Amino acid sequence: MRILRFLVIALFFVLPVASLSAVGPGDLPETSKWYFHADFKEMRSSEAGRHLYDWMQDEVFEDLREDVGVDLDKEADYLTAFATEEEGLVIVIDGDISQTTEDKLLAMGTLSGGMNKLSAGGKDFFFVRDDDDHDHDRGSNHEFDSFDDGAYFSFAIDKKLLVTSTQERMESLLAENGKVSRVKTEKGALFILSAERSLVQAGARAGDFGADMDWDSNILRNTEQAALLVADRAGKIAIEAQLVTTEKEMADSLASIVRGLISLQVFNDDMDPDIAEFLQNTSVEVDDNKLTVKVALNAEDVVAAIE
C-alpha cells in the first residue's frame, strides 16, 4: 500500500481545497458524520498561523518531498474533507494545480499497479488501489470513512481536484461541477464554529461512531456533537472547543469537572509557569446542553506542545 498511502497523504494534507477560506453550515451535507477544514493560505499570511505552517513544512511537507518527490506545499491554499454514511469520504480540492503535480500523481497511481481510467458525463476520473487489493471484496464491507479500498480522483473540473472513496459520489460531484449537494437529515446539520481568521475547523457527530467504536468514556457516550476551532486572534492561537451533550445536566457536570481540574493544577507548585498561565486563561461556559472551552496561547507554545 506504499504508493497509495503516499498518494492519499499528498491529497489529504497538501493540495488546495474548494474556494473556501472557512466552511459554514451551507457548505456541507447535513448527513455529514464529520468534517475537517484547514486554511493553509491564512496560516502562511498570519503571525500566529505561520508557526503552525512552518511546523507542517518540517513535519509533513518535507517528508512528502523526500518520499514522493513532489513539492506541493506552495500550491496549497485550503483543504476540506468530510464523510457521510451513504456516500463515504469526500475531499474537494481547488487551486492552481500544476501540470507537473498532476503528472506525478498519475504516475504514482500507475506505479501502484492498480489504476483504472473511468468516465462519467464526458469527464474522466481515475480509480487507484494497490496490487494487493485487486481481489478485495468491495461489497457491503466497504470502508466508507477511509481510502483503504482505494480512491477515486479527478482533475476534470477546472482548478479542482476531487477525491472520493466511492464511484457514486465521484460521479455526482462531476455532474455538479464539484459542488456538494445538500442532503437533509432528521438529525440536523453538524454545527460549525467559525472566526474571521480561522486556521482549522473540525467537527463530528459522536453518535454516528457508536457502532464502530467502543466508547470507554461516559463523557463521549453522552456527547451528541463536538466541534473545534483554531484561529489567529491578535497574534495568538485561539482554540475553542464545544460539546453538545445529550442533556443539560451532563454539560453542567462536565463544566464542573473541567473547572475543578483547572483549579487543582493552578495551585500546583511543581507546574510549569507557562502551563499554569494557560490554565488560568482558560474559560469554561455552559449554555443549556452546550459546553464551550476557550483559550488563547502563544503560537510557539502550541507548536512546542504538538512536538
The pLDDT tens digits of the residues spanning 25-57 come to: 566 777 888 888 888 888 888 888 999 888 888
Burial class (CB in 10 A: 0-12, 13-18, 19+), 243: buried
Task: Name the residue among 102, 106, 44, 46 with its Cα closest to residue 76.
Answer: 44
Q: Which of 66-75, 121-130, 293-302 has the lowest mean pLDDT?
A: 66-75
Residues 62 and 50 sit within 8 Å (Cβ to Cβ): no
pLDDT of 284:
92
Query: Distance between CA 64 and CA 60 in Å, rounded?
Result: 6
pLDDT digits 0-9 by tens, 81-126: 888 877 788 887 777 778 887 888 888 888 877 889 999 999 999 9
* Cα–Cα distances in angstroms (integers) from residue 46 to residues 39, 52, 226, 238, in the given order: 11, 10, 26, 13
pLDDT of 77:
77
Residues 297 and 278 sit within 8 Å (Cβ to Cβ): yes
pLDDT of 67:
66
Q: What is the DSSP letter of 61?
A: I
**Residue 266 or 190, more confident:** 190
pTM for the predicted model, two decimal places: 0.77
Which range scores top for mean pLDDT: 7-16, 125-134, 215-224, 255-264? 255-264
For residue 143 the three cell numbers come to 470502508
- What is the CA angle 227-167-202, rounded to 5? 10
pLDDT of 231:
92
Q: Is 176 helix (H, G, I), strand (E, B) or coil?
A: coil
129-155: buried (b, 16+ CB within 10 Å) or exposed (e) per residue? bbeebeeeeeeeeeebbebbbbbbbbb
pLDDT above 50: residue 71: yes
Query: How big is the chain, counted in residues?
Result: 307
Query: Distance between CA 2 and CA 130 in Å, rounded?
Result: 8
pLDDT digits 0-9 by tens, 231-242: 998 888 999 999
**Residue 182 or 65, more confident:** 65
Residues 64 and 10 sit within 8 Å (Cβ to Cβ): yes
pLDDT band at 69 (very low <50, low <70, confident <90, very high): low
Q: Residue 206: what residue type?
A: A
pLDDT digits 0-9 by tens, 246-258: 889 999 988 998 8
- What is the CA angle 266-55-153, rounded to 5? 125
pLDDT above 60: residue 137: no
Q: Is 92 helix (H, G, I), strand (E, B) or coil?
A: strand
The two beta strands, 236-245 and 115-120, are unpaired
Stretch 162-166: mean pLDDT, rounded?
89
**Residue 159 or 121, more confident:** 121
pLDDT of 170:
93
* Cα–Cα distances in angstroms (integers) from residue 81 to residues 145, 197, 287, in the given order: 11, 19, 29
Q: Show me where the domains of the chain are located.
A: 2-175, 198-306
pLDDT above 60: residue 1: no
Which range scores top for mean pLDDT: 59-63, 145-149, 218-222, 288-292? 288-292
pLDDT of 25:
54
pLDDT digits 0-9 by tens, 174-232: 998 887 755 454 455 677 787 778 888 888 887 655 444 454 556 667 788 889 999 99
Q: Is 59 helix (H, G, I), strand (E, B) or coil?
A: helix
pLDDT of 154:
92
- What is the CA angle 226-27-302, rounded to 5? 45
Stretch 127-137: mean pLDDT, rounded?
59
pLDDT band at 141 (very low <50, low <70, confident <90, very high): very low
For residue 60 the three cell numbers come to 509533513
Query: Distance between CA 208 and CA 234 in Å, rounded?
Result: 36
- What is the CA angle 54-295-39, rounded to 5? 40
Burial class (CB in 10 A: 0-12, 13-18, 19+), 240: buried
Query: Distance between CA 249 and CA 165 in Å, rounded?
Result: 39
pLDDT of 260:
86
pLDDT band at 15 (very low <50, low <70, confident <90, very high): very low
Query: Distance between CA 102 and CA 89 in Å, rounded?
Result: 21
